[in-house]
């Protein structure tokens, strides 16, 4: 169980800040944006094929017994014990020998919502040793037992999904609607990999040598280091931890200093699901980030590193892992093209662009960064997109009607503003937005007539800016879309069936969305090409990344 939580780290929260988030719940207007999600009276969300808006609103109004923010429960959780401010080593919630901590802030207000221990290389070595020790027994558990752990984790996770959503809003800044969508997405990985635990099949291979039989078996690779980002604090740990648990690996998780609490809550639920001590270990650090990362990449007891983050950091980690030839999964930066052809259905293209570009306020690695629109539909598309984006409401994630929260920190807001100002200085026109809001907020923006010479064309903006580029021909736009050193995701909209296949094959990306802006699912192989990294997460390949394939050649007795 987690250590006792004190209210000391929360004394900086102003009375007004507490007041606006006393209930910490979704509002009717926020729920209106998610037409396929509703709540039962038990506060457990379910996904249904179709739900009327009136039913959504009624279900919210009928909800009761929401927790209030108090000194003992500063984030207003249904289960306050899910707010954990410690690292986890060998089944124990621990601090660090020096007693140093770092602060975790609410992006909406800048106020401190908690602290975590600033753990060191020494702590990391202890965590690796604990994972190595636990691997000797966890690797021998049956697939059925590992499936049971994940199934129970999924049950507990869904039962606590409102608290997971609250934690995402508090530390990441997403709107409630956006955070709830992520929370459901994260939960789907535990369900998927619970089933995948039973599918670690080998094969029998015919042999050319008489009397010899070849079989292959799948075995867990060993201790894995899971390095997760801040932009999806629930989904990214679920996508990495799910397959590790499914196949029999033990792990050391390095959480982001911006958003540690969501991951820590999920790990606590895994412990409650029965996952043995030492199988999951968590390091929290800020000041010692580089040293901790290097230890995870160079320690010979770690056999795999999974990292989601920037290309720059991914290259550094790959270099560090080369000394021990660790297996790696790298999901790195993107600069996703989104193409709207003249023959696209306009409402579908607008909705798909919004889904791709503005989810998480544009702070996603697969969001559209360069939006190419063909001349014949350009003006209509730009006007329709600007009208929809102009309806967005930016503010603190718990506030009524808010569709988009603040950016994660000032550095990110500064970068977004730099990209907008650079584009405008080179001839781009602001159709909507184009300015900062309060704190780290940036008003969702649509830019028209953006030139290829601007920063947005070559750098990932990671913010709520839809930059529209004109193009004339298919051949031209394919060349421009592929003119990038990264290749994570790409999107296009067209009602020409031949073009759907032709462009899908021509785009140099690991994933393509044709007539959709939403490609992320637990069941698909998620990953990129070129400098967007290698390896896949999710789908059947997700478990393969955490296993080795061992050949067993069985000879027969030689007859005399």
**Alpha carbons 119 and 244: distance in angstroms, whole number:** 23
Q: With left for phi above 0 and alpha for psi between -120 and 50, is residue 401 left, alpha or beta? A: left
**Alpha carbons 299 and 321: distance in angstroms, whole number:** 9
**Alpha carbons 441 and 33: distance in angstroms, whole number:** 20
**Alpha carbons 369 and 386: distance in angstroms, whole number:** 16
Is residue 331 among the annotated active site residues?
A: yes
- Residues 356-367 as b or e (16 or more Cβ within 10 Å = b): bbbbbbbbbbbb
Cβ–Cβ contacts within 10 Å for residue 310, how many? 15
Centroid of chain to Cα 408: 14
CA distances to 37, 64, 192 from 181, in Å: 9, 22, 17
Centroid of chain to Cα 225: 16
Closest CA to 3 of 78, 91, 130: 91
Q: What angle do CA 516, 520, 523 make, to 5 degrees?
A: 115
Question: Do residues 7 and 50 make contact, with C-beta atoms less than 8 angstroms apart?
Answer: no
| Given the residues 258, 295, 331, 474, the one annotated as active site | 331
Cβ–Cβ contacts within 10 Å for residue 336, how many? 32
Pairing relationship of beta strands 87-89 and 92-94 according to DSSP bridges: antiparallel
Question: Do residues 237 and 265 make contact, with C-beta atoms less than 8 angstroms apart?
Answer: no
**Alpha carbons 237 and 189: distance in angstroms, whole number:** 10
Question: Do residues 435 and 416 make contact, with C-beta atoms less than 8 angstroms apart?
Answer: no
The catalytic residue positions are 331
């Amino acid at each position: 169980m987690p250590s006792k939580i004190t209210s000391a780290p929360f004394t900086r929260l102003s009375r007004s800040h507490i007041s606006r988030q006393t209930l910490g719940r979704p509002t009717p207007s926020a729920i209106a944006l998610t037409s396929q999600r509703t709540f039962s009276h038990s506060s457990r969300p379910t996904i249904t094929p179709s739900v009327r808006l009136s039913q959504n609103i009624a279900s919210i109004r009928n909800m009761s017994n929401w927790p209030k923010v108090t000194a003992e429960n500063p984030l207003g959780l249904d289960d306050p014990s899910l707010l954990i401010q410690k690292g986890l080593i060998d089944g124990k919630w621990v601090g660090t020998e020096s007693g140093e901590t770092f602060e975790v802030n609410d992006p909406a207000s800048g106020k401190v919502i908690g602290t975590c221990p600033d753990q060191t290389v020494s702590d990391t070595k202890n965590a690796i040793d604990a994972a190595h020790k636990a691997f000797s027994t966890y690797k021998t558990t049956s697939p059925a037992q590992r499936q049971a752990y994940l199934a129970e984790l999924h049950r507990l996770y869904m039962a606590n999904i409102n608290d997971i959503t609250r934690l995402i809003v508090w530390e990441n800044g997403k709107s409630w609607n956006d955070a709830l969508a992520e929370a459901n997405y994260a939960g789907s990985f535990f369900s998927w990999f619970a089933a995948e635990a039973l599918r670690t099949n080998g094969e029998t291979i015919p042999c050319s040598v008489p009397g010899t039989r070849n079989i292959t078996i799948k075995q867990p690779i060993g201790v894995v280091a899971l390095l997760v980002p801040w932009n999806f604090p629930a989904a990214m740990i679920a996508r990495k931890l799910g397959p590790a648990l499914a196949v029999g690996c033990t792990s050391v998780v390095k959480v982001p200093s911006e958003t540690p609490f969501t991951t820590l809550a999920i790990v606590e639920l895994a412990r409650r699901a029965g996952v043995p001590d030492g199988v999951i270990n968590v390091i929290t650090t800020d000041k010692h980030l580089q040293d901790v990362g290097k230890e995870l990449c160079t320690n010979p007891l770690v056999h795999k590193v999974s990292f989601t983050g920037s290309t720059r950091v991914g290259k550094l980690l790959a270099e560090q892992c080369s000394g021990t030839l660790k297996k790696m999964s790298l999901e790195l930066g993107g600069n996703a093209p989104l193409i709207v052809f003249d023959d696209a259905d306009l409402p579908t293209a607008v909705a798909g662009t919004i889904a791709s570009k503005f989810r998480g306020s544009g702070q996603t690695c697969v969001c559209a960064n360069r939006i190419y629109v063909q001349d014949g539909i350009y003006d209509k598309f730009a006007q329709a997109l600007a009208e929809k984006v102009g309806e967005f409401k930016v503010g603190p994630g718990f506030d009524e009607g808010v569709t988009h929260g603040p950016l994660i920190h000032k550095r990110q807001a500064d970068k977004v503003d730099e990209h907008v100002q650079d584009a405008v200085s080179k001839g781009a026109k602001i159709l909507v937005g184009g300015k900062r809001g309060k704190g780290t907020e940036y008003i969702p923006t649509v830019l028209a007539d953006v030139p290829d010479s601007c920063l947005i064309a070559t750098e990932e903006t990671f913010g709520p800016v839809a930059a529209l580029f004109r193009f004339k021909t298919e051949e031209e736009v394919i060349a421009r879309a592929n003119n990038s050193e990264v290749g994570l995701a790409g999107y296009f909209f067209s009602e020409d069936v031949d073009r759907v296949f032709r462009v899908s094959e021509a785009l140099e990306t690991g994933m393509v969305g044709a007539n959709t802006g939403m490609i992320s699912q637990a069941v698909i192989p998620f990953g990129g090409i070129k400098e967007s990294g290698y390896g896949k997460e999710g789908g059947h390949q997700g478990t393969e990344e955490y296993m080795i394939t061992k050949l067993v050649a069985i000879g027969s007795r030689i007859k005399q």
